[in-house]
């Protein structure tokens, strides 16, 4: 029911669904642009429409207040303390490694905020390199109403160089955020 409902709503709203969710048990999806909380909603609906019910995402701990915290957890979100990025990454690596047979698909917004930033975060790189999870580049393009998975990405040994290459991929696709002035690719 949820799968058909989400697909129906997205199509009714004029969205084109691109690609298919990762076949790997564990993966990280980089999702950009991230200029609004609505990116989360559209992205979540995409994954539900594609039958992926095991999606996880990080949201700042301040958003987890009663009764919203129950809704966020039900949607696969978990709170993070942004004052300690290294502890956050270690806890995610631990969660992924101890997920057992259950798939762990994590969505990360590489900008790290909904504001325009030139230098994207590299924490995803540590998670992928330490867990062996697959990495996929995804987008929520409000300007052209496209949402989905663009491509799989193989990381190298340098997080900053890989992030620069990923920003170039987004530059090529030219996705437009809900608030276009809040998204930069370089």
Task: Dump pLDDT digits (tens) for 7-52.
Answer: 999 999 999 999 999 999 999 999 999 999 899 889 999 999 998 8
Measure the CA–CA gap between 152 and 161, rounded to whole angstroms.
17
CA dist 119 → 46, 70, 174, 184 (Å): 27, 33, 17, 9
Per-residue pLDDT tens digits for 145-164: 999 999 999 999 999 999 99
d(C-alpha 20, C-alpha 117), whole Å = 28
Question: pLDDT exceeding 70 applies to what percent of the chain?
Answer: 99
Tokens of 95: 């969660």
99 CB burial (10 A radius; 0-12, 13-18, 19+): middle
| SS3 category, 131 | helix
CA–CA distance, 100 with 182 (Å, rounded to integer): 38
Q: Structure pTM?
A: 0.90
Confidence of residue 88 (pLDDT cuts 50, 70, 90): confident
75 — pLDDT class (breaks 50, 70, 90): confident
Residue 1 is predicted with a pLDDT of: 58
On the question of pLDDT at 105 being above 70, the answer is yes
Q: How far apart are CA 100 and CA 143, in angstroms?
A: 39
Are residues 139 and 145 in contact, defined by beta-carbon separation less than 8 angstroms?
A: no
- pLDDT of residue 171 exceeding 90: yes
């Amino acid at each position: 029911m949820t799968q058909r409902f989400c697909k129906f709503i997205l199509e009714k709203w004029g969205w084109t669904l691109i690609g298919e969710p990762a076949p790997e048990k564990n993966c990280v999806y980089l999702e950009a642009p991230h200029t609004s909380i609505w990116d989360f909603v559209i992205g979540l609906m995409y994954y539900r429409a594609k039958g992926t019910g095991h999606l996880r995402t990080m949201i700042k701990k301040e958003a987890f207040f009663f009764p919203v915290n129950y809704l966020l957890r039900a949607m696969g979100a978990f709170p993070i303390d942004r004052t300690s990025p290294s502890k956050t990454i270690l806890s995610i690596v631990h969660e992924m490694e101890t997920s057992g047979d259950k798939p762990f698909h994590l969505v990360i917004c590489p900008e790290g905020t909904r504001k325009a930033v030139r230098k994207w975060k590299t924490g995803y790189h540590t998670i992928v390199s330490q867990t062996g999870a697959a990495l996929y580049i995804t987008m929520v393009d409000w300007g052209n109403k496209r949402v989905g998975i663009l491509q799989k990405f193989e990381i190298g040994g340098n997080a900053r160089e890989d992030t620069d290459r990923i920003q170039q991929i987004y530059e090529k696709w030219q996705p437009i955020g809900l608030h276009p002035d809040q998204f930069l690719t370089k």
